[in-house]
Structure 1
Amino acid sequence: MCGIVGIFDTRGAREIDPALVKRMNETQHHRGPDEGDVYTEPGVGFGHRRLSVIDILSGQQPMFNAEGNVGVVFNGEIYNYPELTEELQKLGYVFRTKSDTETIVHAWSAWGEDCVQHFRGMFAIAVWDRVKQTMFMARDRLGVKPFYYAVLPDGMFIFGSELKSLRAHPDLPRAIDPRAVEDYFAYGYVPEPKTIYSSAFKLSPGFCLTVKIGQPIPQPRQFWDVPFKLHGAMTQSDAEGELVVRLREAVKIRLKAEVPLGAFLSGGVDSSAIVAMMAGLMKDPVNTCSIAFNDKAFDESEYAEQVARQYKTHHHTETVDTDDYALLDTLADLYDEPYADSSAIPTYRVCQLARKRVTVALSGDGGDENLAGYRRYRYAMAEDSVRSRLPTGLRKLVFGPLGKYYPKADWAPRMFRAKTTFEALSRDLVEGYFHGVSIMSDAMRAQLFTPAFQKQLQGYRAIDVMQGHAAKSPTDDPLSMIQYLDMKTYLPGDILTKVDRASMAHALEVRVPLLDHKLVEWISGLPPEMKLRGSEGKYIFKKSLEQYLPNDILYRKKMGFAVPLAGWFRGPLRQRVRDSLLGETLKDTGIFNIDYLTEMVEQHESGRRDYSAPIWTLLMFEAFLRKELLGAGA
């Protein structure tokens, strides 16, 4: 695990400043504190920060082949590298190390761009082929590892593991993309392939990009997608058995490390399942860690301890104050662009705890997207069931006006929030799902933004992101469709971004067995009713685990990593909210309607409305802007 950076001259072979490459590289020192190196030649510069996990003695990067004409920098792990090494040796390639990095070098020579089809793992890769005058870049299929890039006005192509490494280049234009702002206030993050800057991009999961000297830069090419192709006839019993076999194998290949290894254990289904599989595969007790909260309403530690006792793990728990809001500015530094998932706070703390014990941790991320575990899937399917019984015209005629004029009830449980339900029923599946997951609705964003800023959007809407993915979806099943949308937006943009930055801030490598692409492919082919049955999400997963975990772990109500935002903003952060939302920083952008911001703050303070999620989103945007204005990270 590590951080990578690079500079590539698309117009020729100009000299690359080694000091500049080093500056870019050192912005990511936290990602790889063990070693760091840079390499330059005319037209090309590579930088690498290393967290030593496999082949500690000889896995340094940048790594070249024996002839010196193919070099690579790489962030991640190729779990099937032993098998690939054997296959490549049979083709005549000679290995000088035992690292997965060298596998990439020879795989490029053997298979060219198709090399990515052979890799099983999490990766962000850049390969320089001097003979072909080509830079090849790829990002893993689900987006576990990040990859940012930009083409500068002078034709230099730059890339890095974090946006801060690109910002270290003095020639990167830093104009904010209005469309990214629109996206952010809907989703709470800037979805791929955009970044907050008009000039910089994320390489989307499952995409690669080949840049050749003297040729126009092409659009990235997709090399993988979630198939959602149904398997043949399969009984539930057979599906349960095969799911466990495949899960165990996905865990097993992630246990190789030359450093201490463990797991996050929240007491939820996914992390508990990972620990159960690890315990059956490892000779020594599993190292597990979890955080407890001093407020029982947010605390799941008793369930984590229950699983730890069952599997006799070396379990470590630390208690975190629920008023842990001191990290607000730290988060702005970590994420480099506006990012509004408040669960980044406890995620940061659990990574901090884990790093005291291990260098590699397995997590249960991806289970909800794979197996339909989110409550919102249940709501979406209930709404779609009603939609399917009524003609589109009638739905819009009846539910549209009801949604518009029915009073809002944020304080009530979702099932009683009739306004939200009416609005969702007046839309189609994608529109309804977008409306349900949006932090700020279309109507709220229309009030939030000034007319001048709305004009800059030129008709662009955040829903365009989901509609674009829906148009390319391999499935038209309603449940599979919204799972697919989450795998393209929420999973890489929010969940995996959160875990990557929080873990790498502490030089901790996190591996995600439930996002093994072979496992994801197989699960996607299960019938939707095996994933969501009635009100039970992850149905087949839970049934398959009944022999490993007790029912009060499998079937209890999902909690998640929540923090008490509403109370913070009426209490200890009340003045911070006023200073940030109503101060000069947001006002001077010309983006925001200050009267609406004032209304939000006053209504939240009074308790008449709960604007905690929009306020947090605005706080994080303001923190990002202050960082920009101060020039931090530049």
Structure 2
Amino acid sequence: MCGIAGLFHLNDARPMDPARLERMCDAIAHRGPDGQGVWTAPGVALGHRRLSIIDVAGSPQPMASADGRAMLVFNGEIYNFRELREELRASGARFRTDGDSEVILAAWEKWGPDCLSRLHGMFAFAIYDLEARTLFLARDRLGVKPLFLATLSDGTLAFASELKALLAHPLLDRTIDPLAVEDYLAWGYVPDTRSMLKGVSKLAAGHSLLVERGKPMPAARQWWDISFAERRKGKEQDLEAELLHLLRQAVTSRMVADVPLGAFLSGGVDSSSVVALMAEASGQPVKTCSIGFDVAALDESAYARRIAEQFRTDHRARLVSPDDFQAVDALAAMFDEPFADASALPTWRVCQLARETVTVALSGDGADEAFAGYRRHLFQHGEDRLRAFLPAALRGPVFGALGAIYPKADWAPRPLRAKTTLLSLAGDSAEGYARAIGVTPPEHRARLYSPDFQRLRGDYRAEWLMLETMRNAPARSGLDQAQYADLKIWLPGDILTKVDRTSMAVGLEAREPLLDHRLLEFAATLPENLRIRGQQGKWLMKHAMRGHLPEDILFRQKQGFVTPIESWFRGPLAGAAHDIADSTTLGQTGWFDAGRVRALAQDHVAGRANNARILWQLLMLDRSLSRLSQAPATKV
């Protein structure tokens, strides 16, 4: 696990200044505290920060191929590198190291861009071919590892693992993209289709880019996709056995490391399953760690302790309290772009705890997306069944009218919070899911925006991305479409961004075995009743793990890794809630109606509404803007 950065002049082979690239690499030194390297040639410069995991003493980067033709910088892990190395050696390849970096180079020289389909793992890398004068950039299937791109004013293509490395370059255009603000308010993060800065883009998950000097910049090529269009047949017990085999394979392949290794343990199904299979494969106690909260209703630490005791892990736990709010500036610095998933705070804390004893930690991320484990999947499944019986001509007027007048009852028991469901049923499956997964609905955003920002935004709406993705998905049902959109938008934009930045901030490598692409491709073919049955999501996975985990762990209501910001903003953080409307940075933009923002804070603190999520969004936006630019270019 590492950080990479590079510069490639698109038009000519001019000399490159290594000091400029060194400054970019210094900005992401936290990603690679164990080593650094810079290589330059006419028209190109590659930089690397190393966190040593495999072949600790060897495999320095940037790395040259055996014949000297290609140079590599690489962030990630290739889990099948040993098998690939043997295959490549049999065909004549020579290796000087014991790591996976050199395997990527040899695979590139043998198969070119087609090498990507042979790589099992998480990665973002760049290969410069000295003979062809081409730069090849690639990102792993699910987008576990990030890659930011920018074309600078002097005709240079810059790339880096984090935006802060690009910000270190003096020619980067820091103009804020107002459409990214719309996206952020809708989702709580800026999706991979856009960046907070107009001059920056992100290489999408499962995509590659081959750039040749002297030719126009090509479009990125999608080299991997997942399909929900097929349905696997077979007996349930056979599918269950196949799933358990794939789970074991995914976990054990990610236990290869030359440094101390452990796991995050929340006490939920996913992390408990990973720990159970690690314990089964390990000859010594698994090192586990967990985070608890000072709000009892959100605290799962007792379940984590129970699993730790069952598998006799070497377990450590820590409590997150409102005092951790003081770390908000540190969080903003980690993400660069605004990021409002409040679980980033406990995720960072658990990464800090893990890093005290291990360098690699396995997580349980990915199973909810793969096997339909979120509550919203249950609702989507049920609503689609209802939509099938009611024509759109009836649903739109009836449910739309009821949803418009139904109160937003955040204080009420869950069955009485019908506003979102009614509005969801008024639209088609994609429209309903876009509303379910969003943080701030379009009508709420419209009330928050100032008239000037409304003009900046134009007719663009963040929901278009979700609608297009779902309606064009290789899928059979609304549930298929929802899971496909989760894997394409939510997972790389939110979950994987959160884990990458918080783990890398402390020099920890996080691995996600439940995102093994073979496991995901299997899950996408499961009939719906093996994903959702009754009120249970992840049905087949839970039954596959019955021999390993207790029933009440497997089938208890999903809780999630939730930070208690609702109660914090009404208690010790009430002052911070009131201060948001008068923030200097956010106020200077002129994007929001300050009176409405004050009302949001007042209503929340008084208990009249639950506005914690939008308050957290605005707070993180303010802190992010203060870092991205002192005076946003879209000030109105």
Show the counterpart of 2:431. Answer: 431
Query: Is the CA contact (8 Å cut-off) linking 1:3 and 1:50 kept in structure 2?
Result: yes
- The alpha-carbon distance between structure 1 residues 629 and 223, as it changes in their structure 2 partners (threshold 3 A), is closer
Show the counterpart of 1:307. Answer: 307
Show the counterpart of 1:596. Answer: 596
Query: Is the CA contact (8 Å cut-off) linking 1:582 and 1:597 kept in structure 2?
Result: no
CA distance in 2, matches of 1:107, 1:526: 33
SS at match of 1:561: coil
Show the counterpart of 1:112. Answer: 112
Q: Displacement, 1:605?
A: 2.2
Query: Is the CA contact (8 Å cut-off) linking 1:322 and 1:563 kept in structure 2?
Result: no
SS at match of 2:358: coil
Show the counterpart of 1:26. Answer: 26
Please say if 1:243 is aligned against 2:243.
Answer: yes
Q: Displacement, 1:27?
A: 0.6
CA distance in 2, matches of 1:305, 1:602: 39
The answer to which of 596-605 and 392-401 deviates more is 596-605
What amino acid does structure 2 have at the position aligned with 1:460? Y
- What is the 5 A alignment of 1:136-535? 136-535=136-535
CA distance in 2, matches of 1:76, 1:394: 51
CA distance in 1, matches of 2:425, 2:229: 28
- What is the 5 A alignment of 1:37-186? 37-186=37-186
Q: Displacement, 1:323?
A: 4.6
Show the counterpart of 1:622. Answer: 622
What amino acid does structure 2 have at the position aligned with 1:267? G
Query: Is the CA contact (8 Å cut-off) linking 2:174 and 2:629 kept in structure 1?
Result: no
Describe the superposition over 1:350-405 as per-residue Cα deviations: whole angstroms up to 9, x where unpaired. 00000011000111000110111101111122222222211111111111111112
CA distance in 2, matches of 1:32, 1:445: 39
What amino acid does structure 2 have at the position aligned with 1:352? Q
CA distance in 1, matches of 2:578, 2:401: 34
What amino acid does structure 2 have at the position aligned with 1:150? A
Could you list the runs of 4 or more consecutive aligned residues of structure 1 that deviate by over 6 angstroms after TM superposition? none
CA RMSD, Structure 1 to Structure 2 (Å): 1.4
CA distance in 2, matches of 1:111, 1:6: 23
Q: Displacement, 1:477?
A: 1.1
CA distance in 1, matches of 2:422, 2:66: 65
TM-score normalised per structure 1: 0.98
Q: Displacement, 1:324?
A: 2.4
Q: Displacement, 1:316?
A: 1.4
Query: Is the CA contact (8 Å cut-off) linking 1:138 and 1:209 kept in structure 2?
Result: yes
The answer to which of 136-145 and 228-237 deviates more is 228-237
Describe the superposition over 1:187-223 as per-residue Cα deviations: whole angstroms up to 9, x where unpaired. 0000012110111011111011111101111111100
What amino acid does structure 2 have at the position aligned with 1:347? T
Q: What percentage of residue pairs aligned between the two structures are identical?
A: 49
The answer to which of 620-629 and 207-216 deviates more is 620-629
What amino acid does structure 2 have at the position aligned with 1:605? V
Query: Is the CA contact (8 Å cut-off) linking 1:581 and 1:622 kept in structure 2?
Result: no
What amino acid does structure 1 have at the position aligned with 2:335? Y
CA distance in 2, matches of 1:519, 1:240: 12
- The alpha-carbon distance between structure 1 residues 492 and 421, as it changes in their structure 2 partners (threshold 3 A), is same
CA distance in 2, matches of 1:154, 1:615: 40
The answer to which of 412-421 and 436-445 deviates more is 412-421
Please say if 1:11 is aligned against 2:23.
Answer: no
Query: Is the CA contact (8 Å cut-off) linking 1:581 and 1:619 kept in structure 2?
Result: no
Query: Is the CA contact (8 Å cut-off) linking 2:532 and 2:539 kept in structure 1?
Result: yes
Q: Displacement, 1:318?
A: 2.1
What amino acid does structure 2 have at the position aligned with 1:339? F
Q: Displacement, 1:229?
A: 4.2
Show the counterpart of 1:584. Answer: 584
CA distance in 2, matches of 1:327, 1:497: 18
Runs of at least 5 residues in structure 2 that lack an aligned partner in the other structure: none
TM-score normalised per structure 2: 0.97
SS at match of 1:324: helix
CA distance in 1, matches of 2:163, 2:220: 18
What amino acid does structure 1 have at the position aligned with 2:502? A
SS at match of 1:259: coil
Query: Is the CA contact (8 Å cut-off) linking 1:323 and 1:568 kept in structure 2?
Result: no
CA distance in 1, matches of 2:506, 2:232: 45
